[in-house]
Every structure is written in structure tokens, then in C-alpha cells.
Amino acid sequence: MAEMNMAEMVKGVLTNQVSKSPYAAAGIDVSGARYEDALPLEAIDPWPGNRDLSEDAIERLAGDIDENGVLQPVLVRPRAYGRYQLVAGHHRVEAVKLLASRDPSDARWRGVKALVLEMDDDEAERAVLSTNVYMIPAWTPEERGAEWMRLSEKAKALRDEDPERYGGKRINFIVAELAEEAGFKVSGATVARDKAAFESSRKKVAETTFEGLIDPWVSKLKSGAIKPAQAKRISAMGPEEQASLFGRFAQKRGYGKRWLDAALAGSGAKRDAEGERALAKAVEDLDVLSALVENGYEADTTMIGVLIAKIRSGAGRRGR
């Protein structure tokens, strides 16, 4: 028997494990894939039109990968000029990119474990659908609705291309068939409800406006990257403070909504402390002014009004 070095043994074991992994559960045969221990991140392109990624999931995954490494290789197909197209594993790739941005000197984050599998366009699209559908039970109705909306476009094309099979069928029922073929049983009525939940969520965000919110944050709100409650708190800040917060938020790609919650809690506490100090100073100034008036000083009524306004404003902030 030909000798096999340790690296080849590890690669063989990994490939065998993957064949019994979620890829196999999703109906994807990766037995003919080539294993790469560190496929360069800069050579990987995302799947066009892939579903929106969850920044919270990327953040959690980054912490897990930092501690345990990438346990499940991503799935890519080779393209021209030495590039690769990502079929499955978008969250993992983004998590590794996040770790690389935090510590560019760490060689672990220059590449990602990958299975390289030759696939034509139809095979690759089926694999994308299968891996997405495999994860559907963990999604919210809105997330499922977004996937059904994407599949609805494919369903329309199938109805035109194969009228004998799909002609006369409603789009939602074709979507249900596609999902069931990929391993997830769902009814056309459930597809319709999930799509309605997605549309309602999207409409609610589209109609949510906060006066004073600067454009970069408006874009994040409409894309779903931040929550309406977060946008409301940000809109209470001045433009410069909003811009500063956005700069930090943009640099920490992948930290997600929880990072922003923590940042807003910190800035809120800071503003509360500043308000307390301003209130104490205004009260002290008014006490001094009162003492001067009692000793014959002719006070400027405008100054007294300003101090009283400061006190009222500070007391109001403290009470909220």
C-alpha cells in the first residue's frame, strides 16, 4: 500500500467527515471535492444574489472560530484566472475576514478551509438552494420570507421554461415544491405567510423615519443593519456625534446590532453624566447669583432666565 503522509491523512479524514456533514444532509455530493487547508480569502468571490448575511451571526461565529478554528470547510467552485466562487459558507468567510481585520498579522486568518468542487451553473445553484434550505428551520419568518421571495423569481422562470410541469401553478406552490425537493417540507400557504411577514417588516422599516438622522444611518436602517429602536436613539444625537459613531460602526464590520447597543448604552451614560454636571453647575451659578442680589447686586434678568432654563433642561434629562 502506498505511504500517505500526515497532511494527506488529515485531508482525507476531513473530506470523509464533510461527506457525512450538513453538505450531505443537504443532498450535495462532495466526494469528488479537493480539500484546501487555507484558500486565500482574496481569491474568493461571494455567490451573486446570496441572501443577506446576519451580522450578529458573523460576530458569534468569529468568536467560535477564534477559539476553535473553522471546523466545517466552506464549499467553492473554481472559476477563471485562479478565482473561486463561494457556494456555501458565506458567514464563515465573513467571520474569518472579521478576525483578519482585527489582527492582520495573524497568519491563521489569511485563508479558510475549503472544499473545491467542479460544478456547472445549475449544480451550483441547486447547492446554494439546498444549503440555504437546510438552515431554514433556524430562521425567523421574515428570514424565510426573504428566501421565498428570492425563490419566487426562480419559480416564475421555471413556469415560463416548463409550462407542462409548472403551467397554471401558483408561484408559492412552485416555491414549496422547490423547497421540498431540496429537503424542506413546507406548504404553499406557509410560504405565503412568510412572504407577507417579510413584506410587512420591510414596509415598516421603509416607513420608519427619524428627523435628524444623517444619511449613512438612514441607509443602514433601510438595509436592516440597524434596528428602528437604535435609529431612534441615534437620531437624538447631533450630526457630529452621529458621524463619529458611524465611523466606528463601519470600522467594526461584523460586530452587528449588539455592538451598537453597547455603544449607544455607553454614549447614553456619558450624556447622562454630562447632564448631571451641567445641572449642578447651573444650580451653583444660580445660588451665587441669588446671594449677590441679596447683597445689592443688580442681576441681569436674561442671565437669570438662562440659568433657570439650564436647570429645567437638566432636570428633565435626569428624569427620563
**Tens digits of per-residue pLDDT, 72-89?**
889 999 999 999 999 888
The residue-averaged pLDDT of 98-113 equals: 90
pLDDT digits over 257-283, tens only? 667 877 887 654 455 455 555 556 656
Of 4 and 266, which is predicted with more confidence? 266
Q: Within 10 A of 195 (CB to CB), how many other CB atoms are there?
A: 23
Q: Supply angle C-alpha 260, 264, 270, rounded to 5.
A: 145
pLDDT at position 171: 92
Instruction: Write phi, then psi, for 318 (nearest 5 degrees).
Output: -65, -35
pLDDT digits (tens, 9 = 90+) for 30-77: 778 899 999 999 999 988 866 667 677 788 888 888 888 888 889 999
- The answer to whether residue 13 scores a pLDDT higher than 50 is no
Give, in order, the Cα–Cα distances in Å from 84 to each of 44, 50, 66, 93, 110.
5, 15, 24, 13, 15
Q: Which of 14-23, 101-110, 283-292, 297-306 has the lowest mean pLDDT?
A: 14-23
Backbone φ and ψ of 70, nearest 5°: -80, 110
Mean pLDDT of 199-207: 76
State residue 84's pLDDT score.
95
State the number of CA atoms in the 13 A half-sphere of 14 facing the CB.
21
Tell me which residue of 117, 38, 110, 126 sits closest to 85, measured CA to CA.
117
Quick one: average pLDDT of 273-300? 57
Residue showing cell 440555504 = 132
**What pLDDT does 197 receive?**
83
Orientation angle between helical segments 188-207 and 141-161, nearest 10 degrees:
120
Report which residue type is found at 15. T
Average pLDDT over residues 233-255: 79
The Cα 245–Cα 236 span in angstroms is: 13
Planar angle of CA 213, 214, 219, nearest 5 degrees: 95
Please tell me the predicted confidence (pLDDT) of residue 182.
Answer: 64
pLDDT for 304 beyond 90: no
pTM of the model: 0.51
- The reported pLDDT for the residue numbered 39 is 94
In DSSP terms, 76 is beta-bridged to 86, 116
Give yes or no for residue 114 having a pLDDT over 50: yes
C-alpha cell at position 294? 441679596
Cell numbers of 195, please? 412572504
| Chain mean pLDDT for the chain | 74
